[in-house]
Amino acid sequence: MFESAEVGHAIPKREYQRHEPKLRQALLEAQYQQLSEAKRPVIVLVNGVDGAGKGETVNLFNEWMDPRHIHTHAFGELTDEERDRPEMWRFWRVLPPRGRIGILFGSWYTDPILARVMGRQKRAKFQRRLELIRRFERMLIAEGAVLLKLWFHLSRKAQAKRLKELSRSKKTAWRISPGDWERFKHYDEFVQICELALRETSNAEAPWHVIEGVDARYRALTAGRLLLAAMKSPTAQQPPAPHAVREGADRQNVLRKLDYSAVLTRSRYDERLLAAQARLSELMRGRAMRRRSLVIVFEGMDAAGKGSTIRRVTRAMDARFYRVIPVAAPTDEERAQPYLWRFWRHIPGHGRCVIFDRSWYGRVLVERVEGFCSEGDWARAYSEINDFEAQLHDAGAIVLKFWLSITPAEQLKRFKERQSTPYKRFKITDEDWRNRKKWPAYERAVCDMVDATSTDRAPWNLIAANDKLHARVQVLEHIAKRVEAEGG
Amino acid sequence: MFESAEVGHAIPKREYQRHEPKLRQALLEAQYQQLSEAKRPVIVLVNGVDGAGKGETVNLFNEWMDPRHIHTHAFGELTDEERDRPEMWRFWRVLPPRGRIGILFGSWYTDPILARVMGRQKRAKFQRRLELIRRFERMLIAEGAVLLKLWFHLSRKAQAKRLKELSRSKKTAWRISPGDWERFKHYDEFVQICELALRETSNAEAPWHVIEGVDARYRALTAGRLLLAAMKSPTAQQPPAPHAVREGADRQNVLRKLDYSAVLTRSRYDERLLAAQARLSELMRGRAMRRRSLVIVFEGMDAAGKGSTIRRVTRAMDARFYRVIPVAAPTDEERAQPYLWRFWRHIPGHGRCVIFDRSWYGRVLVERVEGFCSEGDWARAYSEINDFEAQLHDAGAIVLKFWLSITPAEQLKRFKERQSTPYKRFKITDEDWRNRKKWPAYERAVCDMVDATSTDRAPWNLIAANDKLHARVQVLEHIAKRVEAEGG
């Protein structure tokens, strides 16, 4: 994979001087073009061997283009806010919005590769992380991102020479740390692991470009031209909808199958609710929760009782440690980012709980049914969501998902009640009546959602909610049980 | 100050049961009212003596109202991202947007008081921090915030009793840490310092409300009613414009006085620019910068050369460590916050540089001249900005402010040039021509700005910029000099 980057590429000075101004002008124009369209973020990954000119190239990009619209991020040690969350969180938080260029110096490849080289990580785990990266990048591209992956390479001999050169001059010695020499000792393993990583993550959508780092002019022109080509590339084709959804031959489904007759008397309710709240309250304060977090999702048709159930859950917790996120229309900052960004920003640190009142499942429910996104968008969302929740789980979150299920007749009854109760009238709008007419389409979407996203780590809990008291107790008891099993 | 909170207030159960449902309903309605108007954020500070029911009250607020629209924040140890920045940064980052309720459990009072009680902080410093708080709160209120400051009090005897009670029961013992008992030893100093803090920061706009914490029912009803009254209070009157600006009797001013005839030959320019860039580049990598940061502001009339000057500055820096923020229209998340919020979010950590292309001075320049804000708003901005910059300075930032000054004739020349150069045409709009007509008003605003915000810690540098080469060298040399003096 690196053969072509060890042939001694070089560009003579005259040739460079002829090409550089044109390239520069073209890059600047392409940048303003992106900026004015504001349709796609441009994400440039800068990785490779130490001393191969990564820093110089990044500085050159900033010099050639307008640095006011470029965000460059270098990733060092994790901060303690980052350490508490899934490893991709630190990248999500710096993704450039549409129209902007984000240069990531070091990237989601750095840690998997170094951990493998230093022997901190088994091969199977390494492969799993590469698979996660592949899917993450596929998502970025499907969301419209221009993704350019640059790898700067030096042969063993060339790296040794380069490190020595840098160390010798007073002006550049600061750039070489003892760590660089330490890593150089592992050059062969490093290159071998990198080759594997590049091979496994190079595909038609997001290929790696390996650039020989010896000659500064060759490096600069090559990197600049690759960036120009990437920015001028047409918007990626939407991949075809990967998930064919089909209804069974009978009219039975997971929602209709629920037992809606279950009811609870007020006294049994009081008793069981209080018991479950007390249990949950104690578990939340337990030692084990200090290394865990809780992510709870509530979905359900309008008037299914999400809000009132959430209030019973929060009552069992200390307000200092939970946060409820009501999901409404995205802000403009959220709209300029990939779909899941607005949820990533609320991911809790250890010891905390975040409750989503509606969630990322909007993509495969309301957005699907109302046609707010393309079929390709919602169809790919199933696996993106599974990946998201798997990452939450791996970072110590207990992910709990509830579908509060009511029947159409029960919904009608509640709508009418709301209309006739003065202080509840604000809770019912024309939109609710419109949504109600699409019940079959929503029901279908819910069943598909359950089939596609009920996983071992984050199963769906379908709660018959015609009886509110019954539903609340089910939810509370379920949360307490899961927290006890996983974090207690 | 605490006398009334040691009289043994109590509410009988029957009375509580009669009042609580009404209060609860009224609070919920007031919350939805705030939410639907989305005009004011509601900020509730919960402070006081340990064991006086702060946590219970916060939980009760969340129970009484809709927890989905309340953000509760507890402040523990500083995270490392917070440690690197001004102490108010952690509060700015969690301010509730307009329409929402933010409950701050512990607040900007906690650290000043504890530092004083534990003897970590001299009286003078304590007083300075209180003064900073007073001004911060005045700003919040002027920005439309509802600010409710609750103090929960217990007498020495009552606190001892309460801590013992909590320790005895298995269910509540977790809430008492050894730190609580440790702090109890300092009860008298603590109360004395708190009294001073409360007295010094209680004023008509933002009074402290002291609540006796012994009886849970009294505490709950009192706190709830105070919150209700605060939410129903009319929007604060804008304070009268505090800053009378007057032009001198002659036509001379700091801008006209500059020497616009200075020019630099291309060869002298190349030489001096390179020298200044090399010097700055070295300084930025120096050991001293690891504990400092750099905040650079560029302001100037249209076509004054801000963009091209910024590019000469960034060229002297490593792209990993600087960020340029072009200030344009605020996003909707920014509009829902106090004016300075959108700048606070970009404050750099140690070792980093942020360059603002236009800045918070927009308030006293374009917003003043164009009437985008009220006179009260821009008039109070001068001191708010001075406070902001002082905080940056105190947290280790070197604050550099440049006004690139051109004459009207020079601007006209540049506008015409832009119109006739194809690739520069996008840089000139009708708005630029409109702004140009308001030159005298802008000039007046600039002079007032310089008078009011050129401080010892963050002086304005007025740069004659009719000759671009001269201006760039001045800026670069000035930055290098300041960094050398302060951080070198």
Name the residue of chain B whose CA is nearest to A66's CA: B311
Q: Which amino acid is at B83?
A: R
Note the pLDDT of residue B177. Answer: 78
Residues 420-479 of B with CB under 8 A from A: 423, 426
Note the pLDDT of residue A425. Answer: 72
pLDDT at A197 over 80: yes
Residue B399 CA to residue B320 CA, distance in Å, equals 20
Integer CA distances (angstroms), A65 to A35, A70, B192, in order: 12, 8, 59
Q: How many CB pairs below 8 Å do chains A and B form together?
A: 110
Token pair belonging to B210: 């002291």
- Is residue B59 helix, strand or coil? helix
Domain finish residue from B179, B207, B232: B232
Looking at the structure, tell me whether residues B198 and B335 fall in a common domain.
no
Which of B58, B67, B311 has the CB atom closest to A311's CB atom?
Answer: B67
Integer CA distances (angstroms), A40 to A25, A30, A236, in order: 20, 12, 10
- Are the C-beta atoms of residues A304 and B306 closer than 8 Å to each other? no
Name the residue of chain B whose CA is nearest to A424's CA: B29
Question: For every one of its 488 residues, what pLDDT tens digit does chain B have, with 9 covering 90 and above?
Answer: 788 888 889 999 999 999 999 999 999 999 999 999 989 999 999 999 988 999 999 999 999 999 999 999 999 889 989 998 999 999 999 999 999 999 999 899 999 999 999 888 899 999 999 999 999 999 999 999 999 999 999 999 999 998 898 888 877 777 777 878 888 888 999 999 999 999 999 988 899 999 999 999 999 999 999 999 999 988 766 666 555 555 666 778 899 999 999 999 999 999 999 999 999 999 998 888 888 999 999 999 999 999 999 999 999 999 999 999 999 889 999 999 999 999 999 999 999 999 999 999 999 999 999 999 999 899 999 999 999 999 999 999 999 999 999 999 999 999 999 888 776 777 788 888 998 999 999 999 999 999 999 998 999 999 999 999 999 999 999 999 999 998 75
Distance to chain A for B266, nearest Cα, Å: 19
pLDDT at A422 over 90: no
Distance to chain B for A136, nearest Cα, Å: 24
- Are the C-beta atoms of residues A365 and A268 closer than 8 Å to each other? no
Question: Does some domain include residue B249?
Answer: no
Q: Which phi and psi angles does B73 have, rounded to 5°? A: -125, 130
**Which residues are paired to A208 by β-bridges?**
A149
Note the pLDDT of residue B426. Answer: 72
Contacts of A103 in chain B (CB under 8 A): 319
Note the pLDDT of residue A429. Answer: 84
Looking at the structure, tell me whether residues A134 and A279 fall in a common domain.
no
Note the pLDDT of residue A239. Answer: 60
Distance to chain B for A241, nearest Cα, Å: 33
What pLDDT band is residue A245 in, cutting at 50, 70 and 90? low
Q: Per-residue pLDDT tens for A376-410? A: 899 999 999 999 999 999 999 999 999 999 999 99
Residues 212-241 of A with CB under 8 A from B: none
Question: Does some domain include residue A188?
Answer: yes
For β-strands B42-48 and B146-153, DSSP reports them as parallel
**Which residues are paired to A401 by β-bridges?**
A297, A460
Which of A59, A68, A314 has the CB atom closest to B326's CB atom?
Answer: A68
Looking at the structure, tell me whether residues B457 and B403 fall in a common domain.
yes
Name the residue of chain B whose CA is nearest to A423's CA: B29
Residue A60 CA to residue B317 CA, distance in Å, equals 11
Chain-chain contact of B311 with A67 (C-beta, under 8 angstroms)? yes
Burial of residue B181, with CB atoms counted within 10 A of its CB: 0-12 exposed, 13-18 middle, 19 or more buried: middle
Looking at the structure, tell me whether residues B225 and B333 fall in a common domain.
no
B29 touches chain A (CB under 8 A): yes
Token pair belonging to A421: 């109760």
Q: Which amino acid is at B245?
A: V
Chain-chain contact of A326 with B69 (C-beta, under 8 angstroms)? yes
Name the residue of chain A whose CA is nearest to B67's CA: A324
Looking at the structure, tell me whether residues B58 and B189 fall in a common domain.
yes
Question: Does some domain include residue B103?
Answer: yes
Contacts of A32 in chain B (CB under 8 A): 426
Note the pLDDT of residue B178. Answer: 80
Chain-chain contact of B62 with A103 (C-beta, under 8 angstroms)? no
Q: Per-residue pLDDT tens for A4-51? A: 888 889 999 999 999 999 999 999 999 999 999 989 999 999 999 988
Note the pLDDT of residue B247. Answer: 60
Chain-chain contact of A319 with B66 (C-beta, under 8 angstroms)? no
- Is residue A202 helix, strand or coil? coil
A323 touches chain B (CB under 8 A): yes
B285 touches chain A (CB under 8 A): yes
- Are the C-beta atoms of residues A427 and A418 closer than 8 Å to each other? yes
Contacts of B29 in chain A (CB under 8 A): 423
Chain-chain contact of B324 with A105 (C-beta, under 8 angstroms)? no
Name the residue of chain B whose CA is nearest to A104's CA: B320
Question: Does some domain include residue B260?
Answer: no
Looking at the structure, tell me whether residues B176 and B125 fall in a common domain.
yes
Chain-chain contact of A74 with B321 (C-beta, under 8 angstroms)? yes
B67 touches chain A (CB under 8 A): yes
Chain-chain contact of A68 with B319 (C-beta, under 8 angstroms)? no
Q: What is the DSSP string of A135-160?
A: HHHHHHHHTT-EEEEEEEE--HHHHH
Domain finish residue from A189, A214, A232: A232
Mean pLDDT of chain A: 92
**Which residues are paired to A101 by β-bridges?**
A42, A70
Contacts of B314 in chain A (CB under 8 A): 62-63, 67
Looking at the structure, tell me whether residues B66 and B16 fall in a common domain.
yes
Chain-chain contact of B62 with A331 (C-beta, under 8 angstroms)? no
Q: Per-residue pLDDT tens for A297-322? A: 999 999 999 999 999 999 999 999 99
**Within A150-215, where are the H helices?**
156-168, 178-185, 187-201
**Within A203-265, where are the H helices?**
216-232
**Rounded to an integer, what is the distance from CA B158 to the centroid of its chain?**
38
How many domains would you assign to chain B? Answer: 2
Looking at the structure, tell me whether residues A307 and A203 fall in a common domain.
no
Chain-chain contact of B67 with A29 (C-beta, under 8 angstroms)? no
Contacts of B282 in chain A (CB under 8 A): 171
Question: Does some domain include residue A32?
Answer: yes
Residue B336 CA to residue B342 CA, distance in Å, equals 10
Residue B279 CA to residue A170 CA, distance in Å, equals 14
Looking at the structure, tell me whether residues B19 and B76 fall in a common domain.
yes
Question: Does some domain include residue A261?
Answer: no
Note the pLDDT of residue A321. Answer: 92
- Are the C-beta atoms of residues B280 and B317 closer than 8 Å to each other? yes
Which of A69, A318, A426 has the CB atom closest to B55's CB atom?
Answer: A318
Burial of residue B118, with CB atoms counted within 10 A of its CB: 0-12 exposed, 13-18 middle, 19 or more buried: middle
Q: Which amino acid is at B470?
A: H
Name the residue of chain B whose CA is nearest to A46's CA: B320
Which of A58, A315, A333 has the CB atom closest to B319's CB atom?
Answer: A58
Name the residue of chain A whose CA is nearest to B77's CA: A80
Looking at the structure, tell me whether residues A217 and A85 fall in a common domain.
yes
pLDDT at A242 over 60: no
CATH code, domain with A417: 3.40.50.300
Residues 348-407 of A with CB under 8 A from B: 357
What pLDDT band is residue A241 in, cutting at 50, 70 and 90? low
- Are the C-beta atoms of residues A43 and A104 closer than 8 Å to each other? yes
Residue A103 CA to residue A88 CA, distance in Å, equals 16
End-to-end CA distance of chain A: 49
Residues 37-56 of B with CB under 8 A from A: 55
pLDDT at A487 over 80: no
Q: Which amino acid is at B153?
A: H
Question: Does some domain include residue B240?
Answer: no
Residue A340 CA to residue A359 CA, distance in Å, equals 10
Q: pTM above the 0.95 mark?
A: no
Looking at the structure, tell me whether residues A168 and A282 fall in a common domain.
no
Token pair belonging to A112: 């998997």
Note the pLDDT of residue B237. Answer: 64
Residues 81-110 of B with CB under 8 A from A: 81, 103, 105
Question: Does some domain include residue B243?
Answer: no
Which of A74, A307, A319 has the CB atom closest to B72's CB atom?
Answer: A319
Note the pLDDT of residue B246. Answer: 57
Note the pLDDT of residue A488. Answer: 57
Distance to chain A for B57, nearest Cα, Å: 10
Token pair belonging to A67: 């640095």
Chain-chain contact of A357 with B332 (C-beta, under 8 angstroms)? no
Looking at the structure, tell me whether residues A197 and A308 fall in a common domain.
no
B307 touches chain A (CB under 8 A): yes
Integer CA distances (angstroms), B267 to A164, B274, B469, B477, in order: 34, 11, 10, 16
Token pair belonging to A317: 């917790």
Token pair belonging to B433: 């021509």
Residue B412 CA to residue B194 CA, distance in Å, equals 60
| Domain enclosing residue B433, as ranges | 266-487
Interface pTM, i.e. ipTM: 0.85
